[in-house]
Structure 1
């Protein structure tokens, strides 16, 4: 199973995504398209991740309140988290 199908099946679930450049992104999967998985930050906590300041074809921005996008091709691993910390 590839990352696209794992992410599609995990919409609404908390995850930790590690990218090939070593970054760690944590949040709830909001939506998935053929190039990106979009994460929302955990409620009431800032767990980091790379946020885009606007939506311009690259991902949902912080200003829109929807989180950020991670390119599917950049994902090295996905861990589904059992609980919000």
Structure 2
């Protein structure tokens, strides 16, 4: 699929938990917080959330939303709710 397709799909899924698989076989889980022309930025989903303790909040590249994935590297994207909830 084209970069334009994934850009549109990521914008459609903004604020939702997704599972993204890249061409190199990596799988990323997170909530889409921002999409630009080159990357989608995810807030990582942590399995221990709401269990107490402390955290450091957001971290990462550019927008502070966790980490960015190049749109051209995406091989597949699906709503994470289909896998986790």
Tell whether the structures are fold-level matches, with TM greater than 0.5.
Answer: yes
Identify the residue that residue 75 of structure 2 maps to in structure 1.
76
Identify the residue that residue 33 of structure 1 maps to in structure 2.
36
List gaps (5 residues or longer) in structure 2.
Answer: 50-58
Give the structure with the higher percent helix. Answer: 2
- Aligned counterparts of 1:43 and 1:19: Cα–Cα separation in 2: 20
1:3 and 2:2 matched: no
Q: How many residues align?
A: 72
Q: Which runs of at least 4 in structure 1 moved beyond 3 Å after TM superposition?
A: 43-46
- Aligned counterparts of 2:15 and 2:81: Cα–Cα separation in 1: 12
**1:30 shift after superposition:** 0.5
TM-score using structure 1 length: 0.71
SS in 1 for 2:8: helix
**For the pair shown, which has the larger CA radius of gyration, 1 or 2?**
2
List gaps (5 residues or longer) in structure 1.
Answer: 47-52
**1:45 shift after superposition:** 4.0
